[in-house]
């Protein structure tokens, strides 16, 4: 499907494109994380989460259900967040929005109680500041970049995927009715979580022992496990590699940001070609003039970013409902 350009030029986007983590040098792969991956926007006024945090597969999860569940059929949706994690009020409200549309939503703590360090500190020195003040800002920025790099080193596929496996196995027992009703598990991922939706959408030797040598059968050769999810939707992925998209075997929709240094155009384009080559049903919409992270629930002053946020939610929800 051809990319659909959504013109949503906004003042915040100009600043955001320069507001990368210190030490990030836009290379071919771009910076690993952006501010919107680790910091919540202001929460919509008056909105209160309706779900609760409980254990599933011995992993903390925010679970939110349609108001008429279990009296009316529901489908199970796995929601994977950005760095702000499961206790973020905005992420919980985002999960509630999907629940209001008929999904039983499981949002796991994929960081095992260790969300990303906050990136809310100002990262650009204002004109007129002294050399000493500028030095202090740069020192703080360097320290923050180091903290993010250390955090990412703690949360690799080898650590995250076993947690997700425990949650999906637990869901098969706890919410078998919802999984049966949807004929599988659906998944949506934002920023950090987007990469893992793509991985769960693929055929891999072992999603528990990620990175280990694949199990082999003497007669059949390498054993590949079927995708864990039925269909996926992602927004502005973080740390996504072309190989992640090449491995996708189920229908997927992608909400991307034009000229996004965190999810570069070249990766998106290469991924699109791979999906087309592999004949995987897909949809890609590119939003221009918006910051990375725009689709995550939170307030923006600019009406155009608000509209893009609503559009991306509609895109992702519509895809899940159609599959």
Q: Residue 110: which CATH number?
A: 3.40.50.1820
pLDDT at 184: 97
Per-residue pLDDT of the chain (323 residues; tens, 9 = 90+): 444 444 333 333 333 333 333 333 333 344 555 566 677 888 888 889 999 999 999 999 999 999 999 889 899 999 999 989 999 999 999 999 999 999 999 999 999 888 888 644 333 334 455 555 544 445 445 555 667 778 778 888 999 999 999 999 999 999 999 999 999 999 999 999 999 999 999 987 655 555 444 555 544 555 667 899 999 999 999 999 999 999 999 999 999 999 999 999 999 999 999 999 999 999 999 999 999 999 999 888 989 999 999 999 999 999 999 99
Closest CA to 190 of 178, 180, 198: 198
Closest CA to 106 of 201, 227, 229, 251: 229
Do the Cβ atoms of 319 and 230 come closer than 8 Å?
no
Q: Is the peptide bond before 146 cis (omega within 30 degrees of 0)?
A: no
Beta bridge partners of 79: 188
Q: For residue 152, give its domain range.
A: 4-322
pTM for the model stands at 0.80
Residue 47 CB contacts under 8 Å (≥ 6 apart), including other chains: 93
> How many domains in the chain?
1
Residue 221 CB contacts under 8 Å (≥ 6 apart), including other chains: none
Separation between Cα atoms, residue 287 and residue 236, nearest integer Å: 10
Beta strand 282-288 with 252-257: parallel, antiparallel or unpaired?
Answer: parallel
Beta bridge partners of 284: 254
């Amino acid at each position: 499907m051809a990319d659909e350009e959504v013109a949503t030029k906004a003042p915040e986007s100009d600043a955001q494109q320069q507001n990368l983590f210190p030490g990030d040098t836009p290379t071919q792969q771009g910076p690993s994380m952006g501010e919107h991956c680790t910091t919540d926007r202001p929460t919509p006024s008056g909105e209160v989460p309706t779900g609760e945090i409980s254990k599933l597969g011995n992993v903390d999860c925010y679970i939110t259900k349609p108001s008429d569940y279990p009296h009316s059929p529901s489908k199970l949706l796995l929601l994977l967040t950005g760095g702000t994690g499961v206790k973020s009020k905005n992420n919980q409200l985002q999960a509630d929005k999907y629940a209001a549309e008929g999904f039983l939503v499981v949002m796991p703590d994929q960081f095992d109680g260790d969300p990303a360090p906050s990136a809310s500190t100002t990262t650009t020195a204002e004109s007129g500041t002294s050399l000493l003040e500028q030095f202090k800002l740069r020192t703080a920025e360097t320290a923050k970049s180091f903290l993010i790099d250390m955090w990412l080193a703690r949360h690799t596929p080898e650590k995250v995927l076993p947690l997700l496996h425990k949650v999906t196995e637990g869901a098969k027992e706890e919410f078998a009715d919802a999984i049966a009703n949807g004929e599988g598990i659906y998944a949506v991922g934002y920023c950090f979580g987007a990469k893992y939706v793509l991985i769960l959408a693929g055929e891999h030797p072992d999603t528990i022992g990620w990175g280990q040598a694949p199990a082999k059968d003497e007669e059949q050769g390498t054993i590949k496990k079927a995708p864990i999810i039925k269909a996926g939707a992602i927004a502005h992925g973080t740390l996504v590699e072309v190989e992640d998209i090449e491995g996708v075997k189920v229908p997927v929709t992608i909400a991307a940001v034009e000229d996004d240094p965190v999810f570069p155009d070249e990766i998106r384009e290469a991924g699109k070609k791979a999906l087309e080559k592999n004949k995987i049903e897909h949809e890609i919409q590119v939003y221009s003039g918006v910051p990375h992270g725009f689709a995550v629930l939170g307030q923006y002053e600019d009406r155009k970013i608000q509209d893009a946020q609503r559009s991306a939610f509609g895109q992702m929800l519509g895809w899940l409902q159609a599959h």
